[in-house]
C-alpha cells in the first residue's frame, strides 16, 4: 500500500546521537540524505547526526563521503546543503524533471488563461509530490512548493491521482486514518469514496479549503502513452472568487495537452479515459 502517511515536510526524528539498532551501510547513508527536507534545507553535522539517528563519528564519515561525491555541499560557515550532483541525478527521473519539461508549456498556458497558481504533481505511495509550481497573482494561502508532499486525500491533485488507482489501493487507503489540516479536510472514508467515484465519472477533482481555509483547487489527471494516469495538473484559486465551472475546461485542456505530448491518443479504444 505504499509508505505510511506523514505530515508534509517532515522526516522521522531520532533522539540523541547514538545508534540504537544495527543498520546497514546503505541505510545509514540514506538516513543522512533523509535528514534534509523543506523544513530543514541546511544542517550542521550535529543536526545531521541527530536527525539521522547516527553517532557523530558515523555521521562525520558519511557526510564526508557524500560531500566528496557532490551529494552534499558545505558552505563557509560549516553548514551542509543538498548538492548539485543530486539535482543532476534527479533530472533523469521520468516522473520528475523529464515530465516537468514536457508539461511546462501546457502549465504556462493554464497560467495565462487563469493567472492563478498552477501545479503539477505525481503520486508516491500514499502521498502526492509536487514537481512544478507556477505562482499566481492571488494572495491565496499556498503551502506548496516543488518537492513538497501531502496526503492524497487532502489536495485536488491528490484526489485526481487517488481516484485513478486500483480498487484495492483505494480501499486500503480509505481504511487508514485520514489526516486533517482544516475543519474541511476529507476525513470520512465513506465521503471520500463517494468523491473518488465522482472524480472518475467527471474526469476532474475539486478540493475546497482542505489544506488552507482560503484555497480551492481544480485538478485533472494526466495520462501516459498507455492511458494510465501518471500525474495530475491543477489550478489553485481563492475560494471566495472561485468559479469552478469556468476553471474545469481550462484544467482539463492542460491535462489533455500534457497527456498527448506524452504519447496518449484518446482516439485509440484501449487508451480512452475511464468514465
Per-residue pLDDT reduced to its tens digit, 45-94: 999 999 999 999 999 999 999 999 999 999 999 999 998 888 777 766 66
Give me the helices (H) in 12-83, please.
25-34, 45-52, 56-69
Looking at CATH, the fold of the domain delimited by 97-271 is given as Beta-Lactamase (3.30.450)
Residues 6 or more apart whose CB falls under 8 angstroms from that of 251 comprise: 110, 204, 218, 219, 220, 233, 234, 235
Q: Cα 158 to the chain's mean position, in Å?
A: 8
Q: Write down the pLDDT at residue 141.
A: 56
Residues in the chain with pLDDT values less than 50: 1-18, 270-271, 274-275
Predicted pLDDT of residue 86: 85
Q: What is the pLDDT of residue 16?
A: 42
Looking at the chain, the domain(s) classified CATH 3.30.450.40 span 97-271
Sheet hosting strand 42-43, strand order edge to edge: 42-43, 80-82, 72-74
pTM of the model: 0.70
CATH classification (class only), 25-90: mainly alpha
Determine the pLDDT at residue 109.
95
**CA gyration radius, the chain:** 20
Compute the half-sphere exposure of residue 202: CA atoms within 13 Å on the CB side of its CA: 18
Numbered ranges of CATH 1.10.10.10 in the chain: 25-90
Contact call for residues 63 and 51 (beta carbons, < 8 A): no
Amino acid at each position: 500500500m505504499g509508505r505510511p502517511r506523514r505530515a508534509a515536510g517532515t522526516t522521522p526524528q531520532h533522539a540523541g546521537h547514538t545508534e540504537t539498532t544495527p543498520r546497514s551501510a546503505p541505510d545509514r547513508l540514506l538516513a543522512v540524505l533523509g535528514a534534509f527536507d523543506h523544513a530543514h534545507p541546511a544542517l550542521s553535522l550535529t543536526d545531521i547526526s541527530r536527525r539521522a539517528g547516527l553517532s557523530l563519528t558515523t555521521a562525520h564519515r558519511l557526510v564526508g563521503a557524500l560531500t566528496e561525491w557532490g551529494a552534499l555541499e558545505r558552505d563557509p560557515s560549516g553548514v551542509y546543503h543538498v548538492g548539485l550532483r543530486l539535482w543532476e541525478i534527479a533530472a533523469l527521473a521520468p516522473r520528475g524533471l523529464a515530465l516537468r519539461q514536457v508539461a511546462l508549456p501546457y502549465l504556462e498556458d493554464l497560467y495565462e488563461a487563469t493567472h492563478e497558481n498552477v501545479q503539477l504533481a505525481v503520486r508516491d505511495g500514499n502521498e502526492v509530490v509536487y514537481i512544478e509550481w507556477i505562482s499566481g497573482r492571488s494572495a491565496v494561502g499556498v503551502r506548496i512548493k516543488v518537492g513538497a508532499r501531502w496526503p492524497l486525500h487532502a489536495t485536488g491533485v491528490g484526489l485526481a491521482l487517488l481516484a485513478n488507482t486500483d480498487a484495492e489501493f483505494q480501499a486500503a487507503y480509505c481504511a487508514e486514518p485520514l489526516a486533517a489540516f482544516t475543519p474541511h479536510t476529507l476525513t470520512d472514508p465513506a465521503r471520500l469514496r463517494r468523491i473518488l467515484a465522482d472524480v472518475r465519472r467527471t474526469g476532474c477533482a475539486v478540493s475546497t479549503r482542505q489544506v488552507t481555509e482560503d484555497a480551492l483547487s481544480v485538478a485533472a489527471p494526466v495520462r501516459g502513452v498507455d492511458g494510465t494516469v501518471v500525474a495530475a495538473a491543477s489550478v489553485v484559486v481563492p475560494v471566495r472568487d472561485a468559479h469552478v465551472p469556468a476553471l474545469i475546461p481550462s484544467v482539463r485542456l492542460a491535462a489533455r495537452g500534457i497527456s498527448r505530448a506524452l504519447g496518449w491518443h484518446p482516439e485509440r479504444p484501449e487508451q480512452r479515459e475511464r468514465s
